[in-house]
Structure 1
Amino acid sequence: MQRPNWGASLLSPADSHRCYSSTSVPEVIEGTRQIQFWGHETEPFGTLNIDTPFHVVIKPLNPEKYPEMNRAFVRLFAPGGEEDEGQENSTLSHWSDLYTMETSFVKDQLTLTGKIPKDIFGDCPPQITCLVEIPIKFNVNVKVEGQANVSLSDMESDDIFIRCQHGNCQLKNVKSGKIDVYCETGSLESSGFLQGNIRLGCGNDGMIKAQRLQGQNISCRTVSGNMDIADIYASETMITASEKTILNLGSCHGKALININSGNINIKSVEGNLEAITQMGEVHVALTNTKKKVYVCSKRGDVSIGLPKPADMDLDLLAAGIQLTKDFTYLVNSLVETTDQAQLLLMALEETVGEKGGSKVTGDAKVGILTIKYQDWLSSIGLSADDNDK
């Protein structure tokens, strides 16, 4: 059964400021004016479905104003501000001729379908923004076209599914059982935390930037866009780039598989099992002393491994050349110059830091230089002694 749409109107500039009670006035979207409003009575649980060329902003209802979580509000905003009201009255009255927006609520499904006629605007449609406020537990299913962006914040859903064509996606403090987001050519950014079974992807040059990713299974993939992730907490993580990327990862907890075709891998703190491979580029990782199995490899490039103190690890190092930092100067000085010095150096190094039954660490740079250094605790969390003194 379809619920009644208990508030739908195309607004004039004057109406947009007096038609609602103070409890339903949304945050101001700078540089825009509200042109249309819908309100639906809902249950606390349901699904929001959106298919539109409009920018989409989704956030939960204010729990203080709507503690029962039984409302859904949809508002459309168009370019223009207070100073334009006098001269834009006639233009605003024709907005209904420039787009269509259909809303329906059947059972627990709130569906919004927007269209802008391409025969009028081509690839340059008007910049309309759709602001949706829904119960915090609603599932989200969004598809936007063209350059439209999606912003989703503070939701606690079971399922979140977002597809962007050429626009970007922004997430902030989102919890969900399953999160699946893909931008065909745009970029993806998550601030605060993103919690759930997570699949993030960007095509072309689209980039992924995230602060904290947490869940059982996490997947991040790009084609040639960079990835910058502060922290990952997961049972299993997979990170891939089919062409080229630079991956900067702060800390990685749990089992992780990283495979990129070309580019550099930089990880400040490895807390679990890791396999990190680049076909062409550099790999720089720093290890903690928790027991783990680590394999880092550059097929055509250099590798550096930062070891903790004490380094209770079984080392297996394969490289065209091995370079030690000043922490290991005593080993270099103790060796006699021979044609087998590199092998002697490797044997001495493995004997110094090796610990059978501890972590198993393999460094593979067959055609490059493999650097071994000690990693102090401050450096492992992205700080230095100088930073600590400031």
Structure 2
Amino acid sequence: MLPHLPRWWQLTEKIAVGAWRGLRRQGGITGREPRSASCSQLTFFVTSPCSHTKGPAEPEQCRQRNAKPLKEWTLVVSPFGQLKVRLPCHVTVCPLDPHEYPNADRVFVTVSGQNTHRGADLDSVHVKYDEAQKEMAILSNDMDSTASVDVRIPVKFDLDIKTSGNGCVKIEKIECESCRIETEKGTSILQSVKSQNIDIQAKGGKIISLGTLQGNANIQVSQESSVDIEKLQGSSVNISTKDGSLKTRYLYAQSSFMSSAAGDILLGNVHGTTILQTKTGNITVDSSEGFLKASTHQGEIDIYTLSQEGEVDLKSQNGSITVRVPATLEAHLHLSGNKVDVSPELQLQEIQNVSREGHVMVTGHLNQRKEKEKRIKADTQNGTVHVKSQTWFQSVKLKAPF
């Protein structure tokens, strides 16, 4: 079950612990001014792949070594505004300390880099605030792509950020109505972001979310971009990848649609109505509560369903399907494949077994039959269907003490 997710989760825990210890050593992030330390130096030196400290999840193109503050701006703004960024370099956004700035009326901008002799690059950076539109804009087309721009804004500020080239985006602890992020080859890191609407587009970079990503999410990535999310919570979730994997440890949503052309879909605990689709990738769900529909053409499906409510509909053209259930679950089974294998510890009633031209179809009731019971359907044209008993402890990879 979920062969890659535990390593990813362990990495997330190591990153989070390292960030906390680092912040403790530096005295926390509150009350810091841009002249003493930038957002990326304090907040993302471990937690982000664009951080200054080399970490296991850090993309090569995002690493900044010996970066120095080159230019700074301090602007007076109105609260509940919008940050608009159009840059070809790395961007870090973190919140002001609400105790130090209770009026939420400041924005601090710092440009850092290694090359201190390219003054023309800094002159091309336009930093301005439009009072009428309540829009804070940071714009440049030709600044040094290896530079980084750190922005400290009021905690409740809308985001509209677009980077080109290898520019990475890092966002931490922001609450807003709208969060839009678009990158080309750069990685996007979000940590504890809450927004009514979250729209993220990537053409080649990774998308990583630490902590909780809360809001209605629309995440679209192409090429070999991957999506790794620790916890996603919202009413509506729509995520698609092309060749990269799609992972999330916790998913709480009324309606979720996740798809990939060639990548694997690896999910932990899933709640709500969930639809999963991939053409050549595998689908793995550690535990599902609610309606679940999963389909793949060439890949395999492995899921654990533990809720008495909601239907399960699984389909693969050429791969095997494994359904894991609690031994006490009451459900109607409809299983179809080249071979159907049901664990002997599961109690099936009213079994019907039909074999035709090398294809087997098995129907029956798991435990007692009810008027309204869960329905589990697994259909593969050229694979085997396995139905196995699994306890909750096994689902979380723990063993009960004796």
| Category of TM-score, reference length = shorter chain | 0.7 to 0.9
- The letter for the 2-side match of 1:266 is T
User: Structure 2 matches for 1:351-390, cutoff 5 A?
Assistant: 352=367, 354-380=369-395, 382-385=396-399, 389=401
Unaligned 5+ segments in structure 2 are 1-30, 42-51, 53-65
**1:23, distance to aligned residue in structure 2 (A):** 4.2
- Separation in 2 of the partners of 1:144 and 1:158? 21
SS of residue paired to 2:383:
strand
Q: Quick one: structure 1 residues 356 and 279, their matched pair in 2 at CA, closer, same or farther if it must change by over 3 Å?
A: farther
- The letter for the 2-side match of 1:42 is V
- Scaled by the length of structure 2, the TM-score of the pair is 0.79
User: Structure 2 matches for 1:125-204, cutoff 5 A?
Assistant: 125-204=144-223
**1:128, distance to aligned residue in structure 2 (A):** 0.4
- The letter for the 2-side match of 1:283 is I
- The letter for the 1-side match of 2:271 is H
Q: Quick one: structure 1 residues 183 and 339, their matched pair in 2 at CA, closer, same or farther if it must change by over 3 Å?
A: closer
Compute the RMSD of aligned alpha carbons: 2.6
**1:343, distance to aligned residue in structure 2 (A):** 10
**Residue 284 (1) aligns with residue 284 (2):** no
- Separation in 2 of the partners of 1:226 and 1:311? 31
State the Cα deviation string for residues 31-58 of structure 1 (Å, max 9, x = none).
Answer: 2110000111011110000001020000
Q: Quick one: structure 1 residues 76 and 367, their matched pair in 2 at CA, closer, same or farther if it must change by over 3 Å?
A: same
**Residue 109 (1) aligns with residue 123 (2):** no
SS of residue paired to 2:119:
helix
* Structure with bigger gyration radius: 1
Q: Quick one: structure 1 residues 126 and 352, their matched pair in 2 at CA, closer, same or farther if it must change by over 3 Å?
A: closer
2:237/2:256 contact within 8 Å kept = yes
Q: Indicate the residue corresponding to 2:86 in structure 1.
A: 51
- Separation in 1 of the partners of 2:155 and 2:262? 38
- Separation in 2 of the partners of 1:168 and 1:101? 22
1:314 to 323, 326, 332: 332
Q: Quick one: structure 1 residues 104 and 205, their matched pair in 2 at CA, closer, same or farther if it must change by over 3 Å?
A: same
- Separation in 2 of the partners of 1:307 and 1:22? 52
- The letter for the 1-side match of 2:299 is G
- Separation in 2 of the partners of 1:52 and 1:59? 17
1:313/1:356 contact within 8 Å kept = no
**1:384, distance to aligned residue in structure 2 (A):** 2.8
1:54/1:114 contact within 8 Å kept = no
Unaligned 5+ segments in structure 1 are 1-20, 80-90, 118-124
- Separation in 1 of the partners of 2:355 and 2:401? 45
2:330/2:367 contact within 8 Å kept = no
**Residue 70 (1) aligns with residue 86 (2):** no
**1:339, distance to aligned residue in structure 2 (A):** 7.7
- The letter for the 1-side match of 2:121 is L
SS of residue paired to 1:98:
helix
1:57/1:130 contact within 8 Å kept = yes
SS of residue paired to 2:155:
coil
State the Cα deviation string for residues 251-298 of structure 1 (Å, max 9, x = none).
Answer: 110001111111100001110101100111100111113311110111
**Residue 26 (1) aligns with residue 40 (2):** no
- Separation in 2 of the partners of 1:179 and 1:366? 38
- The letter for the 2-side match of 1:248 is L
- Scaled by the length of structure 1, the TM-score of the pair is 0.82
Q: Indicate the percent of aligned positions where both proteins have the same amino acid.
A: 22
**1:355, distance to aligned residue in structure 2 (A):** 3.9
User: Structure 2 matches for 1:224-235, cutoff 5 A?
Assistant: 224-235=243-254
1:172/1:192 contact within 8 Å kept = yes
2:145/2:166 contact within 8 Å kept = no
2:290/2:307 contact within 8 Å kept = no
- Separation in 1 of the partners of 2:185 and 2:369? 51
More displaced stretch, 361-370 vs 156-165: 361-370
